[in-house]
A and B are shown apart, each in its own frame.
Chain A
Amino acid sequence: MATAGIQTNPDEFQERIDAGIKIEPKDAMPDAYRKTLIRQISQHAHSEIVGQLPEGNWITRAPSLKRKAILLAKVQDEAGHGLYLYSAAETLGVTREQMIEDLLAGKAKYSSIFNYPTLTWADIGAIGWLVDGSAIINQIPICRCSYGPYARAMVRICKEETFHQRQGFEIMLTLSRGTAEQKAMAQDALNRWWWPSLMMHGPSDKDSKHSAQSMKWKIKLFSNDELRQKFVDQTVPQAEFLGLTIPDKELKWNPERGHYDFGQIDWDEFQNIVQGNGPCNQERLQARISAHRDGAWVREAAAAYAQKHPRGARRSA
Chain B
Amino acid sequence: MSDWPLWEVFIRSQHGLAHKHVGSLHAPDAEMAIKNARDVYTRRNEGVSIWVVRSSDITASSPGDKEPLFDPANSKVYRYPAFYEVPKEIKNI
Contacts and interface: CB of A to CB of B under 8 A. Distances in A.
A contacting B, Cβ–Cβ less than 8 Å: yes
Interface of A: 1, 24, 26-28, 73, 76-77, 80, 83-84, 87, 90, 95-97, 100, 152-153, 156, 160, 299-300, 302-303, 305-307, 309-311
The 7 closest A-B pairs by CB, nearest first: A303-B3, A306-B28, A306-B29, A302-B28, A87-B24, A27-B63, A97-B2
Contacts of B15: none
A54 B87 CA distance: 69
Contacts of A80: 40, 43
Interface string B1-14: 11110100000000
Interface in B14-31: 22-26, 28-31
A95 B55 CA distance: 13
Given A76-B43, A83-B40, A311 B23 contact: no
A87 B23 contact: yes
Contact of B63 (A28, A87, A153): A28
Contact of A156 (B23, B32, B62): B23
Contacts of A28: 63-64
Contacts of B40: 80, 83
B60 interface: yes
Contact of A1 (B44, B55, B63): B55
A256 to B, nearest CB: 44
Contacts of B29: 305-306, 309-311
Interface of chain B: mostly helix, strand, loop or mixed: mixed
Contacts of A306: 3, 28-29, 32
Contact of A95 (B2, B28, B31): B2
B24 A90 contact: yes
A90 B6 contact: yes
A281 to B, nearest CB: 24
A184 B58 CA distance: 57
Contacts of A305: 28-29
Contacts of A160: 44
A84 B25 CA distance: 8
Given A87-B24, A87-B25, A306-B28, A26 B60 contact: yes
Contacts of A95: 2
B4 A299 contact: yes
Given A160-B44, A300-B3, A24 B24 contact: no
A94 to B, nearest CB: 12
Nearest to B24: A87
B28 A153 contact: no
B1 A24 contact: no
17 contacts: A26-B60, A27-B63, A73-B43, A77-B43, A83-B23, A83-B40, A84-B23, A100-B1, A156-B23, A299-B3, A302-B4, A303-B4, A306-B3, A307-B3, A311-B29, A311-B30, A311-B31
Contacts of B43: 73, 76-77, 80
B1 A153 contact: no
Contact of A24 (B4, B6, B63): B63
Nearest to A91: B24
